[in-house]
Amino acid sequence: MKGKIKTIEFLKYIEILGQRSSERLVNGFRGNETEMEFIKMIVSDAWDLVEHNEWGVALENLISNLHEIDFKIDEKAIELAKSALEECGMKYKDWKFIEDLYEKN
């Protein structure tokens, strides 16, 4: 259950970061869409998975999709992701690529 709580914390934070996302076009699920549209969509998908007790899948999908479009995140997001991954029983070293998204503000 702690994994679910940590995943929700990460998800809420990505929602906040998504509000500052750009209008740059990314290659999303439906073709070209803005970064903002894509973030809203993947966050919504993650919430659906969490509601169906699939928070580990939600976390995996969210991190993979953020990496796919090179969405920039801060140190807090990385720490929240790391905590969620560990609580979900995943090895952070397998997801360390999330650090590629780090951008100092």
Is 68 a member of any domain?
A: yes
Q: What's the confidence (pLDDT) of residue 32?
A: 82
Which of these, 27, 16, 25, lies nearest to 76 by C-alpha position?
Answer: 16
Q: What is the pLDDT of residues 14-71, one digit of tens each?
A: 999 999 988 888 887 677 889 999 999 999 999 999 999 999 999 999 999 999 999 9
Domains identified in the chain, total number: 1
Q: What's the confidence (pLDDT) of residue 29?
A: 65
Is 26 a member of any domain?
A: no
Q: What's the confidence (pLDDT) of residue 27?
A: 81
Residue 8: pLDDT band with limits 50, 70, 90: very high
Structure tokens at 49: 């998975």
Is 25 a member of any domain?
A: no
Is 75 a member of any domain?
A: yes
Is 80 a member of any domain?
A: yes
Is 27 a member of any domain?
A: no
Q: What's the confidence (pLDDT) of residue 31?
A: 73
Which structural domain, as residue segments, surrounds residue 54?
A: 2-19+35-101
Is 94 a member of any domain?
A: yes
